[in-house]
Amino acid sequence: MSRTIIHCDADCFFAAIEMRDNPELVGRAIAVGGHPDRRGVISTCNYAARQFGVRSAMASAYALRLCPGLTILPHRMVHYREASQKIMAIFHRFTDLVEPLSLDEAFLDVSELVTEGGSARQIAAAIRKQVVQEVGITVSAGVAPNKFLAKVASDWRKPDGLFEVRPDQLSEFVAQLPVSCIPGVGRVTAERLVQLQVKSCGDLLAFSEQDLCDRFGQFGSRLYHCSRGVDTRLVRSERQRKSVSVEQTFARDLPASEACGLYLEELMARLQARIDKLTSRYGVGKAFVKVKFADFSSTTLERAGGEFGYNNFAELIHEAASRNEGLVRLLGVGVRLTDAEAKLPTEVGQLGLFGGSP
């Protein structure tokens, strides 16, 4: 079945709301995040800050070293969620098939409107115009035959951009994409692909699906299909996330204590950045860790609680690692999610892992 998917993503959302509400910030390098003296993490930064190398999930202290003039603002989650509700309401004016990915990002299936003679590009343009008029910030949009390419397209002309991948352009467009565009391709997988002389999706066309599965396990199927522009996932309007997590596979196997010292802070920063992007319906129920050992066996361990700092995660990791005497090849940290809106009648605070709300 032919589908037409739009992926909409607000440009530097938290920072955009701050600049909207305080025009004196426009043109300055700003970020929204935690305090640099308290293991704070950058959630979002504007494009002026990105020119200095500042990025989301980066430690606030490091961001200040990259950009000494950076203004780091505290989170105002009530305002971000209010803007998010307005944005999602605009999306629903066009289709009921809206799958939110975060406060400011969603997939929209407009296949039925296109079948009836509508233009997906015009729909995306109308959405972007209404967001500017009613919310006061810009949204970039990508139009494509599937989710994978729609998300890639929305990044193509950021900020404040609109890009369409038409079905007749699909093969040519995908072939030029770096393999890092494929969901799930991180640094370690990218390095393994480079060893195979693979840098672009076009380079992957030389491999059969079986060959890629032999080399990368089940992930080989994703590499095979995405490199050909194939993604059969549906837009699911009622999807509810059960957890959010991040992982890091090491270039060499390490003792658990060394792995913790080298990677835990970075993992927690990445996890906090993902938590910051969750919609208002979610709360944190439990924190968990995953440890994979050199023999490829793995174990997980979780513990209830609303706040988990560095020491808490380190304790969980060491307890989990004690179940196997071998070296560690992967660490993961995450949180189980609860439906906060169903349980709490009032505003839920930001989900902070570093001693509560920043």
Q: Which of 18, 99, 105, 164 is catalytic?
A: 105
Which residues, in sequence order, are bridge partners of residue 301?
A: 289
CA dihedral 311, 312, 316, 317 (to 10 degrees): -40
Rounded to whole angstroms, how far apart are CA atoms 46 and 55? 9
3-state secondary structure at position 344? coil
Task: Tell me if 336 sits within 8 A of 288, measured CB to CB.
Answer: yes
Rounded to whole angstroms, how far apart are CA atoms 215 and 46? 39
Which residues, in sequence order, are bridge partners of residue 332?
A: 247, 290
Nearest CA to 265 out of 38, 64, 66, 50 is that of: 38
Report whether 104 belongs to an annotated binding site: yes
DSSP state of 230: -
On the 0-12 / 13-18 / 19+ scale of CB atoms within 10 A, 206 is exposed
3-state secondary structure at position 208? coil
Annotated active-site residue 209? The verdict is no
The structure tokens listed for 15 are: 């920072």
> Active-site positions?
105
Binding residues: 9, 104
Instruction: Detail the residues annotated as belonging to a binding site for Mg(2+).
Output: 9, 104
